[in-house]
Chain A
Amino acid sequence: MACVSPDGKPTESGTKMLRALQSGLGSPEEVANETGLPLFRVRSGLRELTQAGLADQKEDSYKLSDKGAELMK
C-alpha cells in the first residue's frame, strides 16, 4: 500500500492527497497539480484511499468520505 499504511493511517503522500481533497479539489489532475505528485501516483493513490474508505469516487472526481473528513480534523 502506497497511500495507506497497514495500520490504516495515510502515508505522507496519502495525507497530501487527502488535504487536497479537503480543500475542495476533486479530479486526479487537480490533486496532482496541488500536491506535486505524478499523475499516475495520484490516480493509484486515490483509488487506494477510496478502497480504504477515506475518499469517495463519483465518475472521475473524488471527495473526502465522512471517515476521511474525520481523520483530517
Chain B
Amino acid sequence: MEEIGEPIARMPRIGEPAPPFEAVSTHGVLKLEDFKGSWLILFSHPADFTPVCTTEFIAFSEIHPELQKRKVELLGLSVDSVSSHIAWVRNVQEKTGVKIPFPIIADLNKEVSLSYGMIHPGQSKTETVRCVFIIDPDQVIRTILYYPLTTGRNMDEILRIIDALQTTDKNKVATPANWRPGDMVVVPPPNTQEMAEERLQQGYECVDWYLCRKKL
C-alpha cells in the first residue's frame, strides 16, 4: 500500500502571478503587494548563523546599490524567527562591518516557503533550499533559480538576469548565451515565410533567417 506523505504544494512557475503573502519580517509586516511597481528578488536561505548563508548575505548587500539603480528590491526568507534574524544581521555587521539593508521574512510557520516551493524534502525537511524568485513590477514570476544547500549563489548571474529581463522587456528582443549589457541582442525569430525573407534585408547580423543579432 502506498504511503501517504505530506501534501506537496504546487510549485509556482515562470509566467504565473507570484503567490501573495503577508509575513513578519525584520522591517515589519510585509505583503507581496507592498512591492508592486518594483522588481523584487525574493530569496530563501537555509538558516541564520550558518557559513554559506552569511557569505551570501554579505554578497547580496554588496550588490544592493546596483539593484537599487535598477529599481529592484531584495527580500530574504528563512524559517528562523525574527529575533534570530535580528541577532544574525547585527552579528554580521559587528563581525564584518556589512550592514544588511534589506528585510528578511521570518517564516516560522513555513506558509511562504511552502507556497513558493522552497522546501525540498530530499535536501532538508526543515530548512528552505537556496531559491531565487525574480518577480516583475506586475508581480509576475520571471525567473526561478534553485541552488542546493552546499552551493552559494552567484551575484553576477543574478544581476545579469535582471539586466537581461529589463533589456528584453524594454526592447522586445532576446539575449543570447553569456550575454552582458552592451553585447548584441537576438531579434525574435520571424513567424512567417514572408517575415523570414524580409528579415535578411533588414540590416541585422544574421547567421541565417532564424538567428539574427542587432546592436541596441
Chain A interface residues (CB < 8 Å from chain B): 1-3, 38-41, 43-45, 47-48
Shortest CB-to-CB span from A72 to chain B, Å, is 20
Chain B, residues 1-43, CB within 8 Å of chain A (1/0): the string is 0000000000000000000000000011111011101100000
Asked if B56 lies at the interface with its beta carbon under 8 angstroms from chain A, I say no
- B29 proximity list for chain A (CB < 8 A): 2, 44, 47-48
Shortest CB-to-CB span from A54 to chain B, Å, is 14
A2 to B34, CA, bound (A): 14
Chain B interface residues (CB < 8 Å from chain A): 27-31, 33-35, 37-38, 73
Shortest CB-to-CB span from B23 to chain A, Å, is 11
A40 to B27, CA, bound (A): 10
A2, A39, A40, A44 — most chain B CB neighbours (10 Å): A40
- A44 proximity list for chain B (CB < 8 A): 27-31, 34
Shortest CB-to-CB span from A35 to chain B, Å, is 14
A37 to B27, CA, bound (A): 12
Q: Are B28 and A43 in contact (CB under 8 A)?
A: no
A47 to B92, CA, bound (A): 30
B30, B34, B35 — most chain A CB neighbours (10 Å): B34
A38 to B28, CA, bound (A): 13
A63 to B35, CA, bound (A): 21
- A48 proximity list for chain B (CB < 8 A): 28-29
Q: Which residue of B lies closest to A3 (CB)?
A: B28
Q: Which residue of B lies closest to A42 (CB)?
A: B34
A38 to B73, CA, bound (A): 9
Q: Which residue of B lies closest to A48 (CB)?
A: B28
Shortest CB-to-CB span from B54 to chain A, Å, is 24
Q: Which residue of A lies closest to B32 (CB)?
A: A40
A39 to B28, CA, bound (A): 13
- A38 proximity list for chain B (CB < 8 A): 73
A1, A3, A39, A48 — most chain B CB neighbours (10 Å): A39
Q: Are B28 and A45 in contact (CB under 8 A)?
A: yes
Q: Which residue of B lies closest to A4 (CB)?
A: B28
From B28, B35, B37, B73, give the contact of A1 (CB < 8 A): B28
Provide a sorted-by-A list of 5 A–B residue pairs whose CB atoms are within 8 angstroms: A3-B28, A40-B38, A43-B33, A44-B31, A47-B29
Q: Which residue of A lies closest to B37 (CB)?
A: A39
B28, B31, B38 — most chain A CB neighbours (10 Å): B28
Shortest CB-to-CB span from B29 to chain A, Å, is 6
Q: Are A2 and B37 in contact (CB under 8 A)?
A: no
